[in-house]
Structure formats: C-alpha cells, structure tokens
Amino acid sequence: MTLVQELAPKILAEVERAQSILLHFHPSPDPDSVGSGLAMMHVLKGMGKKVTVIKGDSDIPSEFSFFPGIDQVLMKNWHEITPVDYDLLIVQDATIARVSRIVDVTLPLEMKAVVIDHHVSNPGGGVIDLIDTAYPSTCEILYDLFNEWKVSITPEIAHCLIIGMYTDTGGFRHDSTRPYSLTVAGNLAAIYPQYTKSLAQLFNSHTKPSILFQGLALSSLKEYEGGLVVSAVSYDDLMKHGITENDTSAGDIAQTLKSAVGWNVGVSAIEMSPGKVKMSLRTRDSENFDLSVLAGKLGGGGHKGAAGVYIEKPLAEAVQIFVDTFNMYRTEKGL
C-alpha cells in the first residue's frame, strides 16, 4: 500500500468533518503551489465544502491569470484573516511555517492542519502528513489522492494539475520525473488538451526589468574553487534599475550557471532588502553536491539538485558565509 492510499481515507475524513477549510499559496508562489491550491479548492467545492484560498505573502504573478479559479482567491495574508474561523488548514507544497515568511504561523487550537508535500526538508507537524518525496510535484500527489477519493477529474482540475506538474519537473526534464509522471500528464492532457496555451502564456511573460536583472546577474559572476560560481546582485542595483522582487528569477539564473561544463554548483544571490539575501542553488552533480544538505547547514532547504536559503547579512558577507559553508561541505565529503 502506498502512503497516498494509506492516508487518502484519513484526509477525506478530516475534510468531511471540517466546517470551513483554509488553503493557501506559499511565499513567491510557483505553479505547483497555485495549481495544487486551486485544484484542491475545485475538488472541495465540488464536495460542497466551504473553502477559502488566501494568496499569502506574495502578489500573484499576472502570468498566472489563466489558472481556473484564480479570481476566487482571497487577496489576504495569514495575519489578515481570522484563523479561528477555519477548522482545517490544508498546507500544500510547503511547511506549516512557510505558509508565511512575513509573520509567525501559529495554529489556533481549533484548527487542524493536513500537510501535503513532496519536499524532503518538510518536517510535517499536521494531524496528517502526506509527505512523499518520490513525487516530483505536489500536483502529482493530488492526482493520486483525488483518484483514491474517486473524484472525477474535470478540465479545470486537470488544467491546474498539469501546469504544476510540468513546471516542477522543468518540463519533465529533472531527474525527479518518473515514467509514471508522464502517464499522469498524458491522462491530464487528454482531459484538458489546451494546456499548451497556458504554458505559452507562462513562458512569454517576462517584464523588461526581469531581462535587465538577468544581465546584471550574469555580469556579476565570481568563480570559486570546487566548481562553485556565484552571481550576486545588490539591493542598490535592483533599485537603480527599477527591478522588483517579481522581476528577479534566482532559480533561472542558478539553472543557467550550472549548465556550464565545470561549474558544478550555481548560486544566484539577490539582496532583496538591505541586509537580507535570497540564494537559489542549483547543481549539475547532485550525487556529489546534495544541495538540501548544503542549504540545510544555513537554515534553508529544498531538494538534492535545487535548494534555497535566506541569509540575513549584507550581500558580500552573505556570499562569504555561503562560500565558507560550501568549502566546509567539500572538506567533509572529500571533494
């Protein structure tokens, strides 16, 4: 019996018991967060449940406008709602703490949490934790969960799920992709064949400042021993060019860096506000460089091949801390 098969009836029992269910998007939501949040919303509404989806910390990127049901999202963050109004929180594609990064997320006694995620670094902490790292996306977990629940997958649900699955696997290119992922995607594509139009919207929606950001990021590269390369963009530079957080794409920069032969680990460091640096890490060699471990040493998390961390220091200091930690990791691993 798989974990999904084991937990599906238990999660369904919590859903049936609940009067009012809260869903959320994680900070800087990606299509797996939004797709899983909205797919779950459609399913629960289909069951006649009272459901609220909050946007969380971040604004919803305009290129996500195609997601069916996005217009029903409550444009509020955790601290702007009254948590006791809800008796069940379903945390998806995130940890409970990561429902918001701006405020502390403390669940009232009246509220139960169910955690559904595929991140190896998720500690759980819900009354039920459906955390299965064999899945490349939360949306793929939901496909199996909904089937266990005998939910019929509507075009709306299929649309939400396939976009999250596609993006979290890098277009079915990451090692996390399983043959089964393609089977699921095939089933979803048959239900909603127009999903390619949404992908076109998603990947042709760059802002002008976002292209400027890529230029700044790529012109700031520094190479370190052990095949590490770091791009670092300061808060001042962001301000000078009118670049907002939504215009930055740390993951894409790090992805580009590690695509070069000889650069094993690519890091994009961005000083999002003075003294607060966001780092995205990518590797072309996750056998030797387990980024979830590396990021974990600094309080971050993620997957073996892709991880992230925030360091609350000025940019140069933050980069130095990372480089030192990287060297420590190399020494430990004999690399």
Please give the residue ranges that form the binding site for Mn ion (CB under 5 A): 32, 93, 138, 168
Cβ proximity to Mn ion: between 163 and 294 the closer is 163
Contact 281, 294 (CB under 8 A): yes
CB of 34 to Mn ion, least distance (A): 10
Contact 268, 283 (CB under 8 A): no
CB of 167 to Mn ion, least distance (A): 9
CB of 232 to Mn ion, least distance (A): 26
Cβ proximity to Mn ion: between 168 and 247 the closer is 168
CB of 21 to Mn ion, least distance (A): 20
CB of 255 to Mn ion, least distance (A): 16
CB of 270 to Mn ion, least distance (A): 21
Cβ proximity to Mn ion: between 199 and 321 the closer is 199
What is the distance of C-alpha 332 from the center of its chain? 29
Contact 114, 122 (CB under 8 A): no
CA distance 292 to 275: 23
Cβ proximity to Mn ion: between 129 and 168 the closer is 168
Cβ proximity to Mn ion: between 14 and 32 the closer is 32
CB of 105 to Mn ion, least distance (A): 18
Buried/exposed code over 306-317 (b: 16+ C-beta within 10 A; e: otherwise): bbbbebeeebee
CA distance 282 to 174: 12
Cβ proximity to Mn ion: between 58 and 138 the closer is 138
Cβ proximity to Mn ion: between 98 and 258 the closer is 98
Cβ proximity to Mn ion: between 139 and 229 the closer is 139
CB of 118 to Mn ion, least distance (A): 6
Query: Which residue minimizes CB distance to Mn ion?
Result: 32
Cβ neighbours, 10 Å, residue 229: 19
- What's the full length of the chain, in residues? 335
